[in-house]
Structure 1
Amino acid sequence: MYDLTLFCNKTHYFDFDEHGYEKSKGILLRFLPEYTKYNALSQKEINAFYDLIALYHFALQATVIENYGLDCVDNAFFDRQLDWLYRWQEQCEKA
Structure 2
Amino acid sequence: MARRAGVGIGTLYRHFPTREALLDALLRAGFDELTAKARELETASSPDDVLVSWLRDVVTFTGNYQGVVAAMIAAMEDTESALHASCVTLRTAGTRLLTRAQA
Give the TM-score taking structure 1 as reference length: 0.39
Q: Which has the larger radius of gyration?
A: 2
Give the TM-score taking structure 2 as reference length: 0.37
